[in-house]
Structure 1
Amino acid sequence: MARQATIVGASGFVGRRLRTRLEADGWQVFAPPRGAPELLARDLGVVFYCAGLTADYDRRPFEAVEAHASLVGRVIEAGRFEKIVYLSSTRLYDGLPKAEVSETEPLVFDPTDPRRLYDLSKALGENLVMTRTDGRGAVARLANVYDWAPGAPGFLSEWLIRAQAERSIALDSSPHVARDYIHLDDVVAALIAIASAAEPAICNVASGELVSNAEIAQVFEACSWRVRFSGEAAPAAPPRANIARLRALGLDPRPVKDRVRAYLEGLKG
């Protein structure tokens, strides 16, 4: 019998790819539209909670709180699920003055900083999932997810999409900015593995490596693209996410430079 999954946020960047993969693997997928009353009134199977605001959370703070905490709280209160996997973010580590962080680190937030609304609302969602689901909850803390499909969001995604039409690319960023990047397909594989794990846990879904814009630009240039940056800012690097738990699930994401190189070589034909 096919496993039942519900994807909250199935029209989003991660949710769309996850739905495609689950259906290809034989899952029966329920993808309720926003506000659908059935979400709280039917058996949901394994819930992948992908709803959220990223780029515009500061402009829509109350919608961010609704998506990150209030709605997932109502799903948990209704209780009609086998397991729930909540998508969070490694951004929650940004307040920690450490080079490397694991999922067991206590988080630090300044509640007077309006830009921490994203972190605080995600942390509340995590708390509900890990403490109010009777052991049926898990959290995936995602790093910077990228892809090159049309419309894929994020700095690196947009850079890669532009490479399809441009051989000389000017970027409004600095070569010194470093991030942890993980490809969308690796994220989807990780979410399915987390859903199948026996023990509830918080899991970093990341590559475990910080890579600078300059390093990625070197890959582009080695493949005959030209890349220019407009800035020289050198912000402090975020903590590096330890991915021992992810590897224990049998997953080891492919390094971003290797994926970018293979993608660019494919564009060259």
Structure 2
Amino acid sequence: MVNELLSRCDFSSLTYLSSTRVYQKVSSGREDASLSVDPNDPSDLYNLSKLTGEAACLTDSRETVRVARLSNVFGPNAGSDNFLDSVLLEAQRDGRAIIRSGAATAKDYVALSDVIGALVRFPSHAKSRLINVASGVNTTNAQIATLIEGALGTPVTFASDDPGTRFPNIEIARMTSELGIVPRPFQTAFTEWINS
């Protein structure tokens, strides 16, 4: 589909939305990191689809065809089934929540308002063709549980005591220097979202 769009459409700028999940199996969250995927691993199917779209865009000769690798986006988007939305909904609905992954699992989360601010600047400000859109700081499930308990007064427990998955810290130097976006700290943005 991306190839068809690139070959058939005329546009002044195109930004393909990819994912920082492509860094899952590497130690660096830099845009120029060599990535690792395994076509035999069912969990890599999503990463392979994103990287295929990225390859189509980045091999296109037009400098205005770019890629934004989005972190885990959170914010007002009622009805979403992403991790943070589902945990919050469960806490509000049931008066408690159970997180199915380990307390030490750590990922990068970025506020929707910061993502929008970054994306609207891609056509006019981006010099690089590949830019991470993230907070640049990992947040653990334990930290998320503490924030929910503090804001809602509901207990949050963990169904698993596994050591969890830790993604590499996502590098955001290009986002801050080229797009002029400094993302809000997770705790600030998440607390505002819960209380809105």
TM-score, length of structure 2 as denominator length: 0.89
Q: Does 1:78 align with 2:8?
A: yes
**Contact map agreement 1:146 1:153 (CA 8 A) in 2:** no
Residues 89 and 222 of structure 1: is their aligned pair in 2 closer, same or farther, counting only changes over 3 Å?
Answer: same
**Residue aligning to 1:256:** 186
RMSD: 1.9
**Residue aligning to 1:190:** 118
Which among 98, 117, 121 is matched to residue 49 of structure 2? 121
**Contact map agreement 1:136 1:200 (CA 8 A) in 2:** no
- Equivalenced residue count is 194
Secondary structure of 1:190's aligned partner: helix
Deviation readout 1:112-152 (Å, 9 max, x if unpaired): 33332222221121111112142121100011112243212
Secondary structure of 1:241's aligned partner: coil
Q: Does 1:155 align with 2:83?
A: yes
Structure with bigger RCO (C-alpha 8 Å, 6+ apart): 2
Which among 152, 159, 176 is matched to residue 247 of structure 1? 176
**Contact map agreement 1:87 1:141 (CA 8 A) in 2:** yes
In structure 2, the gaps of 5 or more residues are none
Q: Does 1:91 align with 2:28?
A: no
**Residue aligning to 2:148:** 220
Larger Rg: 1
Q: 1:174 and 1:212 mapped to 2: Cα distance?
A: 9
Q: 1:237 and 1:103 mapped to 2: Cα distance?
A: 18
Written as runs of structure 1 = structure 2, the 5 A alignment for 1:1-269 is 71-96=1-26, 98=27, 100-223=28-151, 224-248=153-177, 249-264=179-194, 266=195
The 10-residue stretch of structure 1 (84-93 or 160-169) with the greater mean CA deviation from structure 2 = 160-169
**CA drift at 1:244:** 0.4
In structure 1, the gaps of 5 or more residues are 1-70
Residues 173 and 111 of structure 1: is their aligned pair in 2 closer, same or farther, counting only changes over 3 Å?
Answer: closer
**Contact map agreement 2:88 2:148 (CA 8 A) in 1:** no
Q: 1:238 and 1:148 mapped to 2: Cα distance?
A: 24
Q: 1:231 and 1:144 mapped to 2: Cα distance?
A: 21
Q: 1:134 and 1:260 mapped to 2: Cα distance?
A: 37
**CA drift at 1:241:** 0.7
TM-score, length of structure 1 as denominator length: 0.66
**CA drift at 1:82:** 1.0
